[in-house]
């Protein structure tokens, strides 16, 4: 909707409702920036309540007593350590999805950010770095919890929302005053938060013929470069956002070693790592040799969604390399089992 169209409709309704000229002027001035940013005009909690489909009282409770609107559980990371997941309850999750689809996705992020963006696949992050002299991967430590609610409020204020509305929406997206691992809004908010730094880092890299992309908290650099100088620059830049490099996960990979970007080998053509492929290969060997039910009994596999889960892993491998004949056959075999 153009501002002119909105202005005409709003003025007509406001006059009929008895608004003063000054009130109408103030409302339209407020709406102008929001409309130019292609985001919904939200004047107050009543507006937001109507848009998300939940009562004002519910929004206020969710913003004030936020921990009661999440369930928390741990998942194991590759290194054996635990990662805490904070999953919003269905009602809050629905509100967050509305915020994501109607506000956040309207905000442009850096073209060097490759994760959590509709119609952008992980493969686009990989092909950029194949066949390079060096690959440097940098992990941002404690990523989501390092992005605080005050920084999230600034994002919504920059779109044109008032202090009150920006604070309310930010509270609906945060837990314990930071981005939670498990909220649907956290990934894209992190992309918006890092937008300026992505562009500053990319400008630095372009001037030195270094390729740069960021996939969530994984920053990847490739080319022929001085890694000490590059790492020093990145540390300095992300420090301005109160972020830190996870030194344990920082890796420099040379041409004579496996160059792995977000779990994918990129030396020549992108390919999922051997150990992950081999694990699926072993499972398929037993399924084909003994039959699915026999294999699950032998391995004491109780998962009701075992086949869909295995198919998901195979589909991911084929997403990276669609011409992998071995895994095309595995997919056909599993698909045939689901039809029986």
| 334 within domain boundaries | yes
| 119 within domain boundaries | no
| 330 within domain boundaries | yes
| 148 within domain boundaries | no
Average pLDDT, the chain: 91
Instruction: Using a pLDDT cut of 90, give the percent of the chain over it.
Output: 65
Give the tens place of pLDDT for each residue, 4-24. Answer: 999 999 999 989 989 999 999
Average pLDDT over residues 43-64: 96
Burial of 223 (0-12, 13-18, 19+ CB in 10 A): middle
pLDDT at 88: 97
* pTM exceeds 0.85: no
Q: How confident is the model at residue 77 (pLDDT cuts 50, 70, 90)?
A: confident
Name residue, tokens 């490739």: 222
Strand partners, 220: 137, 213
Q: How far apart are CA 168 and CA 2, in angstroms?
A: 26
| 23 within domain boundaries | yes
- Closest alpha carbon to 92 in 154, 163, 180, 178: 180
DSSP one-letter string for 208-250: TT-EEEEETTEEEEEES--HHHHHHHHHHHHHTTT--EEEEEE
Query: Half-sphere exposure (CA, 13 Å, Cβ side) for 132?
Result: 26
Residues sharing a CB contact under 8 Å with residue 11, sequence separation 6 or more, in sequence order: 24, 28
pLDDT at 339: 61
| 281 within domain boundaries | yes
pLDDT at 340 over 60: no
Full domain range(s) for residue 300: 273-339
pLDDT at 6: 92
Give the tens place of pLDDT for each residue, 251-284. Answer: 998 877 777 777 777 777 778 888 888 999 999 9
pLDDT at 297: 87
pLDDT at 206 over 60: yes
**Number of domains into which the chain is organized:** 2
| 300 within domain boundaries | yes
| 297 within domain boundaries | yes
């Amino acid at each position: 909707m153009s501002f002119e169209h909105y202005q005409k409709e709003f003025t007509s309704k406001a006059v009929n409702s008895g608004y003063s000229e000054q009130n109408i002027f103030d409302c339209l001035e407020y709406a102008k920036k929001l409309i130019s940013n292609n985001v919904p005009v939200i004047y107050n909690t009543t507006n937001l309540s109507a848009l998300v489909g939940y009562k004002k009282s519910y929004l206020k409770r969710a913003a004030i007593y936020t921990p009661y609107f999440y369930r928390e559980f741990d998942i194991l990371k590759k290194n054996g350590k635990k990662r805490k997941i904070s999953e919003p309850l269905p009602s809050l999750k629905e509100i967050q999805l509305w915020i994501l689809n109607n506000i956040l996705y309207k905000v442009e992020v850096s073209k060097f950010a490759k994760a959590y963006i509709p119609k952008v696949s992980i493969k686009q992050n990989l092909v950029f770095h194949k066949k390079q002299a060096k690959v440097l991967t940098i992990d941002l430590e404690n990523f989501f919890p390092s992005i605080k609610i005050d920084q999230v409020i600034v994002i919504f204020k920059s779109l044109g929302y008032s202090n009150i509305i920006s604070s309310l929406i930010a509270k609906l997206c945060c837990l314990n005053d930071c981005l939670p691992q498990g909220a649907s809004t956290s990934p894209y908010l992190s992309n918006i938060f890092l937008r300026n730094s992505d562009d500053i880092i990319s400008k630095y890299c372009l001037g030195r013929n270094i390729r740069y992309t960021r996939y969530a908290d994984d920053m990847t650099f490739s080319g022929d470069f001085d890694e000490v100088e590059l790492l020093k620059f990145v540390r300095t830049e992300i420090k301005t956002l109160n972020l830190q490099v996870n030194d344990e996960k920082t890796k420099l990979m040379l041409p004579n070693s496996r160059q792995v970007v977000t779990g994918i080998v990129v030396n020549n053509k992108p390919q999922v790592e051997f150990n992950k492929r081999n694990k699926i290969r072993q499972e398929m060997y037993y399924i084909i040799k003994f039959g699915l039910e026999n294999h699950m009994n032998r391995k004491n596999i109780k998962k009701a969604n075992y086949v869909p889960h295995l198919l998901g892993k195979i589909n991911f491998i084929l997403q990276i390399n669609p011409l992998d004949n071995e895994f095309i056959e595995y997919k056909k075999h599993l698909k045939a089992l689901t039809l029986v």
